Structure 1
Amino acid sequence: MQTTSVLANGDEIRAYLKDQVNLILRRPGMYGDEVALRLVVDHLLFAQGRPDAWIGQQRHWEERGAWTSRGIAGAFSDLLPRNCRSDSVASVYAEFAHRRGWLHPDRVLTTDEYDVLRGTARRWASRDRVWADVVTEFGTPSVLFGGTNPLYGKALGYVSADPGEPPVVFHLWNGSAPGTASSWPPDHTEPLLLAVRCDDAPFRESFTFTPTGRRLRPGTTEPVL
């Protein structure tokens, strides 16, 4: 007996792609990292009838210094260690998703919470911190980029209800320091904070590094403690 296939309608396709965006943002390494994000964003914009928006977003990132011939990943190449860039790249795509109303945050900060966070994050992150310190100080993140396993790096993003306000993102690392023999499990029981990133400013200027973050920057000649 022949059956008739029922095709998904436009609303169903867009909803599915939005769900895929949110899944990939939270576990980018499982889905193919930036390549997967670029594909699903391209497909969702096409489904919304706005394929031109992707070119405009690339141009905006390029003007800020966040877009290179290797995509967003290239902009992180001399800022963060390799083994925490995947989640950090996802956090930049999440900014775009938030502005377009695609992001499904686990928590939305109130205006007061966001203003306090944005006003204090840079100063607070000028000292060495760990994952637990960030959550204790600022609460559960809006989006956890990366898994919950403390032996791996991740990024914590905080957003307000206003899509025009840039997320505040904490970049955390765990693993073996550059120049040392790789070991597993890593020496640290939880990820170390390397930097906080906020403001829709030139990309490199949006980072505030902890002392550990400065020591672990690729190409640094400062000894790693």
Structure 2
Amino acid sequence: MTTLRGPRSAAEIRTYLKDRLNQALRRPGMFGGEKALRLLFDHLAYAEHQETEWAQALESLEARGAFNSLGVTGALATVLPDPCDDGVASIYAELAHDRGWLQADRTLTTEEHASLRRKLIAWTAHDRTLTDVREEFGPPSVLLGGTNPCFGMTLAYLTGQVTEPIIFFHLWNGGPDETEMIWRSSYDEPVLLAVRFGREAFKDTFTFTPEGSRRRPA
């Protein structure tokens, strides 16, 4: 006779939801994009008894211009061309980091993080590729999006301190053709459009490369 098992514990449920959230942040397209991220956040916030804090976080995003009637996707479309799921996931990754839910593959020391920030203005004055970013700053703390160089992706660099802002490198490589059925890569590997960090007005948190300035929506 089969023995019926009882429901899982609260700890097991929270661990499961955190794991699924981190998977969705890394492969947002496969999980369903922003809608899936919102649902996972809703469920995890409920499990952690943080519904009020989650609602306040969304209000803060909207106040900064990082969220509009079309969600984060709509806000990002005003800053970057052909906004992809990885860019959207970067905003939700910040919110996950605030709550201790983001699982990093690598963390920077405070000194490494400060050094990276000091380099950014001069470094982004020139066009850069994915290879350039990795060679200069090492592997990311979190890779948002897939590893296929035919597509864009976002690289996140962070310390173990929640108070230190995550530094995001937004990389782009073409978009769908007129039929929206075939992806057309523009380069052999993704190119850097912008670096983003901080919690000021959304558009003010971006530092664009020359390529990013050329492709920035009018």
Which TM class, normalised by the smaller chain length? over 0.9
Q: Determine the C-alpha separation between the residues in 2 that align with 1:183 and 1:90.
A: 23
Deviations 1:25-54 (A, max 9, x none): 000000011100100011001001111111
2:176 and 2:182 in contact (8 A); partners too: no
Unaligned runs of 5+ in 2: none
Aligned-residue offset at 1:177: 9.5
2:86 and 2:154 in contact (8 A); partners too: yes
Deviations 1:140-183 (A, max 9, x none): 1000001111110000000111111110000000025999xx97
Q: Determine the C-alpha separation between the residues in 2 that align with 1:177 and 1:35.
A: 21
Q: Determine the C-alpha separation between the residues in 1 that align with 2:144 and 2:6.
A: 35
Q: Determine the C-alpha separation between the residues in 2 that align with 1:178 and 1:130.
A: 22
Q: Which residue in the other structure is 1:6 paired with?
A: 6
Aligned-residue offset at 1:139: 0.8
Identical aligned pairs, as a percentage? 48
Unaligned runs of 5+ in 1: 220-225
Q: Which residue in the other structure is 1:97 paired with?
A: 96
2:150 and 2:188 in contact (8 A); partners too: yes
Q: 1:30 to 1:184 in 2, by over 3 A?
A: closer
Q: How many pairs align?
A: 217
Q: Determine the C-alpha separation between the residues in 2 that align with 1:78 and 1:167.
A: 21
Deviations 1:168-219 (A, max 9, x none): 000000025999xx97662411001000001221110000111111111233
- SS of structure 2 residue aligned to 1:169: strand
Q: Which residue in the other structure is 1:124 paired with?
A: 123
Alignment of 1:85-164 (within 5 A): 85-164=84-163
Q: Which residue in the other structure is 1:222 paired with?
A: none
- CA root-mean-square deviation: 2.0
Alignment of 1:58-77 (within 5 A): 58-77=58-77
- SS of structure 1 residue aligned to 2:193: strand
Aligned-residue offset at 1:6: 2.5
Q: Which residue in the other structure is 2:40 paired with?
A: 40
The one-letter amino acid of 1:169's match is: F
Q: Which residue in the other structure is 1:206 paired with?
A: 205
The one-letter amino acid of 2:92's match is: Y
Q: 1:178 to 1:164 in 2, by over 3 A?
A: farther
1:177 and 1:216 in contact (8 A); partners too: no
- SS of structure 2 residue aligned to 1:49: coil
- SS of structure 1 residue aligned to 2:143: strand
2:176 and 2:184 in contact (8 A); partners too: no
The one-letter amino acid of 2:54's match is: W
